[in-house]
Structure 1
């Protein structure tokens, strides 16, 4: 789908929409039977007002009605979308419902092109509206049927979408559109990786994906194999790989978009391409969804692709430890003790708490980059889903000035994009649950506060830099009829980096 910006001269805005030649123009109407400015400009015949008055469309947010061949309107079709109650500006929720309704309708039309002419959103800039529009339309055409022998039936739909803006906003709109398309491309990559079955999306596949991103966007990729990982003394990471024949990989991908001496932001992504639980075997029901346990790695790769396409002027490094967690005669056992790259020893009480075992060595490795900040991203705990459901990712970090600032940046990026997070506590009291009689720490702290003790475990490996942890176990994928990767938290991470680049 191609996106573009259509400029409207402010002096003739009230009538300019009538002259736009397109397969379909999308305008808004309100619940109190009022028309948006663009809709009013099209309604010389009174057909739009009559449709509202008759109840053919209520104006409720997300409703829609298609009209054809309106008098004195150059567009072949006019699509009315509900914007909810009339106000000085449309709410975020109403706008999102409106563009989602437009995307669904246009996906089934015979028109080749369309123009979106919707009003501004309350307390949001033009860039927000453009990003929301692009993401909604790209979501409507995303397909996950690549491995089906017979593809799902889909209509041709609209191929070109233009977003109408005032001529004075043209430059800002074009910049926002370029970023929005790059973001959508990154989300698509994350969804594609997440949805692939684990016999396709292996650690080697993730490594090859990183190499392709490096080639396409002039980054630097380094992939370490088992012998190199052993040389780094990553005993914790390697313990998770003991039960599988699939070779582990340690991926480092560098985007050198900033000044040479600028400290980088490091993104660390958990890449368990299939998690059986190991010897602490998971229940069979729903285990197929453990292909999504590389959601952190997928979102970091999607973010790197997005900022590469944007040519973001910031130094960013992705660090991805990736492997399978499988049971076998050689698998790590509950009760085993391993030594991490940091030299700290870990008593493994549960082999299904493996994400933290690969992340702790990656977090130690990140020290060598002298980072400005490190953010790790992981489908880490079911406890986070219990705490926050599927709406917010869990955000954990220490409480001091630097970490509070990092948390504020991440939370703000989440609110900007609707890819929200909620800050959870990290307190010394929770570390009591990680005590071991035989090692420096245990890898689990019991069922109480499970997402918090997992974060406390990781925190022990981040003392030398500013760090945050995102637990995306509840937000990285959906189950049931809508089963599939969501592409989160690519919007949060990408916007966080854009804001950092200034």
Structure 2
């Protein structure tokens, strides 16, 4: 799908616009938008609406043909709701999806959107164009890469054009670049998440990372098992003992900012399959544990997006890739391991493995002297219990520097629609990680599991500003719509865009 901008000046006649399909809005009780009034000079649209062919439900559509004196071959009317009220984000998504549903039933090859974007609640024009592109791309996505026969997309539309005035033309052009980059990054993340675990192994993630680095001229370093042993990453290695697949620590350096400017570091959990180890998971839905690498996949998707946009930042992506499998060599509940930091950890639950691989990666990244570190992980089922499937859990320390990072991430989430919710980290939760035999245990008691998991990681992040995103509830969907979502690529990319001096996106 291609996207473009059509410049509409004050002298442009809507009647003269040539397009296969002109998309315009009307409001409740058949109140016409100003654009519809301009093209209803002969009252045809008013008369059609009086007939009741378009119902009052928000997102309802009516396709018209052969309207007098109009160059557009078709006009698609979309119900935008109450004219006196701003359109809510959720309703905006419904409207775009309703338009998408019409795509499958018409022979048009291009479509001109003339919707009143100024009536959408909370969003500026650039964000709305980006959201539109992401929503459309998401609707067109197919998770059939491993099927022997691919189901074709039944759609004739090849180009979607946004009608903008001169004041918004440049911002609109840039928003299309950003939207296409983010949607492609999301697609990469979805593709990786949806691959079966016998294909998407740590070595597969290594190869994808190498290709991405080669394509965009980024430096890459791969740390293997032997090097991990020399670095004394005993916590990370304890998770890998039960698997024949070699673990990988993948470091990708996107260094497009000022020389010696402290980098932003993204650390992603890449457990390509999680059985739970000796603390084995129930068999029901265990197939979904292929998604336990979505944190890692989101870093690759984000690096793709920012490379396409050429952000002027220094960013280092760190992917910790391993399996958590069962064998005679598997780590046992009660085993004590020594982390890279020197802290000893009592492994009370081998299914709490994400924090065990992340803690050594979080110690390793100290050497980069980062401005901030953000880790992204499908870490706890408790986060799903707390927040459902709407928000990522956002955890950080409560001081001035960390509060700024949290606010920046929350803002990026709201702007992108890929939202997060701030959760607490406090010393009183740390007490739940007390061990009688080691410096710390890898789980607390049965309460506040997502918080104690974040508190565990916090012990290894004292030397820099840090935030943790628990994406267990948002990284994939179950049921009939099972599949990776590509989150939080949009959140991370917006956060980085807002930091980049060459992106006019405030």
Q: Kindly state the Cα deviation for residue 480 of structure 1 after the two structures are TM-superposed.
A: 0.4
Whether the aligned pair in 2 keeps the contact of 1:107 and 1:141 (CA below 8 Å) is no
The equivalent residue for 1:456 is 455
Pick from 91, 95, 102 the counterpart of residue 94 of structure 1: 91
**Distance in 2 of aligned mates of 1:457 and 1:112:** 54
How many residue pairs were aligned?
Answer: 499
Pick one of 16, 37, 51 that aligns with 1:54: 51
Q: Name whichever of 89-98 and 486-495 sits farther off.
A: 89-98
Which residue matches 2:504? none
Q: CA deviation at 1:89?
A: 4.7
Matched, 1:440 2:434: no
- 1:354 and 1:379 map into 2 onto residues whose CA distance is 11
Query: 2-side partners of 1:82 and 1:196: how far apart?
Result: 39
TM-score normalised by the chain length of structure 1 = 0.97
1:245 aligns with 2:244: yes
1:273-422 mapped onto 2 (5 Å cutoff): 273-422=272-421
Per the alignment, residue 42 of structure 1 pairs with: 39
2:4 corresponding residue in structure 1: 4
Q: Report the 3-state secondary structure (helix = DSSP H, G, I; strand = E; otherwise coil) of the residue aligned with 1:403.
A: helix
CA positional deviation for 1:88: 6.5
Distance 2:343 2:96 in 1: 51
Q: Does 2:178 align with 1:179?
A: yes
Pairwise CA distance, 1:230 = 1.5
The ranges of structure 1 where at least 4 consecutive aligned residues each deviate by more than 6 angstroms after the TM superposition are: none
Q: Which residue of 2 aligns with 1:266?
A: 265
What is the CA–CA distance in structure 2 between the aligned matches of 1:49 and 1:132, rounded to whole Å?
31
Tell me: CA distance 1:394–1:11, structure 2 relative to 1, closer, same or farther (3 Å). Answer: same
- Unaligned regions of 5+ residues in structure 2, if any? 502-506
Matched, 1:30 2:27: yes
Residue 239 of structure 1: CA displacement? Answer: 0.7
Give the TM-score normalised by the residue count of structure 2: 0.96
Q: Structure 1's 117 and 243: CA in aligned 2 closer, same or farther, altered over 3 A?
A: same
Instruction: Note if contact 1:272-1:294 (Cα within 8 Å) is conserved in structure 2.
Output: yes
Of stretches 186-195 and 218-227 in structure 1, the one that deviates more from structure 2 is 218-227
For residues 245 and 213 of structure 1, the distance between their equivalents in structure 2, rounded to whole angstroms, comes to 26
1:127 partnered with 2:126: yes
User: Are the aligned partners of 1:60 and 1:85 in contact in 2 as well (CA < 8 Å)?
Assistant: no
Q: For residue 11 of structure 1, give the secondary structure of its aligned residue in structure 2.
A: coil
Q: Is the 8 A contact 2:391 2:419 kept in 1?
A: yes
Q: Distance in 1 between matches of 2:348 and 2:8?
A: 64
Q: Give SS of 2:11's match.
A: helix
1:64 to 43, 58, 61: 61
- How far apart in 2 are the matches of 1:39 and 1:89? 19
1:89, 1:449 → 2: CA distance? 38
Q: Is the CA contact (8 Å cut-off) linking 1:32 and 1:86 kept in structure 2?
A: no
Q: CA deviation at 1:340?
A: 0.6
Q: 5+ unaligned residues in a row in structure 1: which ranges?
A: none
CA contact (8 A) 2:103 2:155 kept: no
Shift in Å, 1:186: 0.5
Contact 2:78 2:95 in 1 (8 A): yes
Q: For structure 1, which segment, 466-475 or 121-130, has the greater mean C-alpha deviation from structure 2 after superposition?
A: 121-130
CA displacement at 1:87 relative to structure 2: 2.8
Question: Contact 2:19 / 2:112 at 8 angstroms: preserved in 1?
Answer: yes
CA distance in 2, matches of 1:156, 1:84: 27
CA distance in 2: counterparts of 1:209 and 1:399, whole angstroms: 37
Contact between 2:262 and 2:314, CA under 8 Å: does it hold in 1?
A: yes
- Contact 1:10–1:167 (Cα < 8 Å) also in 2: no
Partner SS, residue 155 of structure 1: coil
Q: Distance in 1 between matches of 2:261 and 2:317?
A: 16
Please provide the CA RMSD for this pair.
Answer: 1.3
